[in-house]
Amino acid sequence: MLARLARMAAVAGLAFAFAAPSAYAATFVYATSSNPTLARYAIGDGGLLNPFVPLTAPGVATSTGIAASPNGRTLYVVDQPTNDVSQYAIADDGTLTPKSPATVATGTTPFGIAVAPDGRHVYVANQDDDSISIFAVAADGALTPGATAVSAGSGPVQIALTPDGTSAYVTNAAGGTISQYDVNPADGSLTSKSDPVAAPGVPFAIAVSRDGRSVYVTSRQSPGFVREYAVGAGGELTPMAADTVPAGTRPAGILATATGVYVTNFADDTLTRYTAGADGALTAKADVSTPHNPFGMALAPDGHSLYVAGFGAGRLGQYDIAADGSLTAKAPADVAADTRPLAIAAVQPLEQQAPSVDLRTPADGAQFEQGAEVAADYSCADDGGSGLASCTGDVAEGAPLDTSTPGSFSFTVVARDGAGNETVVTHGYNVVAKASEITFEGFVGPIQNGSVVRAGSVVPIAFSLGGFHGLDVLADGSPGSVKVDCRHPGNPTGGRPARSEDGLQFDEETGTYTFAWQTHSSWTGTCRAFLVTLRDGSVQRLVVSFRSTCWYWRPWRHHS
């Protein structure tokens, strides 16, 4: 019987915790088959499955397991005959594209698959070499080739993790046991907690309750049953007082949801629903009919619909889930699938479009006078479907910016949507001292009053205002220059604007302003006053003499 199981199917019984449906673009269902294909469906109104056209895409033959990444962007499919896992990128419209590499090797006869709750590691049970393959997951969801492996019991078939990702459990069908492991969150490695727990019969599918306090295992027998375990403080399993509850004939899949536990009974075409008590103990409720030979199950991300793979019928059953967990067949009760559907997964790709930020005030590079009243002005929007979750700036929208101190500052706005996408926009701005508070501290550097320079050269005029006060510290038309008498320059005003390729600059290292004054060769033999007029109207003058000789400076000497 085990040899046949190893070639047939496994349960896709893991229920993933998804965010609110608004965080996703659409919802899809994928089902494997005995052909090398994947059947594809979109979930429409009322949870009804709408087949893609065409229904199938190239896939994997005799796949025994299927699982999706928590963000719904990657699909992993176990390929038992070729001992590997195929991996696909899931687009917004549900189409599948093989990742690179398209497959990664597992152990011998891979069976069940499970994804860590944080999506960083994937685990595959290998039935014929009694091992568990452990894959690291890259940022794009791709599995890292060359998986590590740990030993399991005899004939491992399924693996499940606790919701917090700290413990993992493996059903060993041939050995009649359950292996239990501690999970290292850093590297995903598994370490045995203790000896395997006894699970008489043929332990097959496994599920962990949503609260992580109970574990349920089907025994693939006729008649079948579900074995119940309590999860201790260290994650170790202990059989419950009433350690089994009856199931149908040859139970296959098991799924634990927020409203109950569901088991597919392969040989009698039924699905059994159970409710869980405060201690996790199960109580069987009424069965519902399913397509022939039900196997894998998938829960819609909104929790309101359940889908069942009818292996023998070549169809997928679809059910509404009531608030008490009871099931009612939809209309129609099932839809066509490819030949012998085995494992099934419901996926809702996480929205990838980031929200937008419009940061109007402060504008990037804006300059404000010290003490000015400036209100932050920004807004955020999200067109991706998940809705805007937050829009926060360094101060609230409409609140005043801090302009109390001169200097360079930045203002950041962060927008997040319901899917967790984030956009960050930062603008830099300057606060400058009031004009009345700017003090001219003198010309600095090599060019001083009375220096002799070469006509036609670029003359660097440097001066200090006691720090940075912005680049608009000068009055309109300043700096300027005017021809003066070399012996008696006086206190000229006006003149023509001085020319410069770069304009006024500020050197943060020296704390000085510099103006690279472009002089004219026709000024040879003359003197000119370089005029710096500040915003407050005060004028500072520096007189230089122009010669046609090589560049040099010397102090100006007045003659009587």
Q: How far is CA 321 from CA 261, 288, 293, 296, in A?
A: 12, 12, 21, 17
The pLDDT value recorded for residue 550 is 47
pLDDT given for residue 435 in this prediction: 65
Pairing label, strands 480-484, 496-497: antiparallel
For the chain, list residues with pLDDT below 50.
1-24, 550-560
Residue 101: alpha-carbon gap to chain centroid: 22
CA distance 296 to 48: 18
Question: What's the pLDDT score for residue 420?
Answer: 76
Residue 385 pLDDT:
64
**Cβ-contact 490, 544 below 8 angstroms:** no
- Residues 6 or more apart whose Cβ sits within 8 Å of residue 186: none
Q: Residues with Cβ < 8 Å from 499, sequence gap 6 or more?
A: 517, 518
How far is the C-alpha of 200 from the C-alpha of 213, rounded, in Å? 21
The span from the CA of 448 to the CA of 442, in Å, is: 10
Q: What is the pLDDT of residue 16?
A: 30
247 token code pair: 């199931």
Q: What are the two backbone dihedrals, phi and then psi, of residue 92, each rounded to the nearest 5 degrees?
A: -60, -35
Three-state secondary structure call for residue 2: helix
Spatial distance between the Cα atoms of 510 and 506, rounded to a whole number of angstroms? 9
Q: b vs e for 43-53, b when ≥16 Cβ sit within 10 Å of the residue's Cβ? A: beeebbbebbe
Q: Find out whether 414 and 388 touch, Cβ atoms under 8 Å.
A: no
CA distances from 559 to 301, 487, 537, 543, 556 (A): 94, 7, 31, 15, 10
| DSSP state letters, 387-441 | -EEEEEESS-TTSBP--SS-EEEEEEEEEEETTS-EEEEEEEEEEE--GGG----
Peptide bond just before 251 cis, omega within 30 deg: no
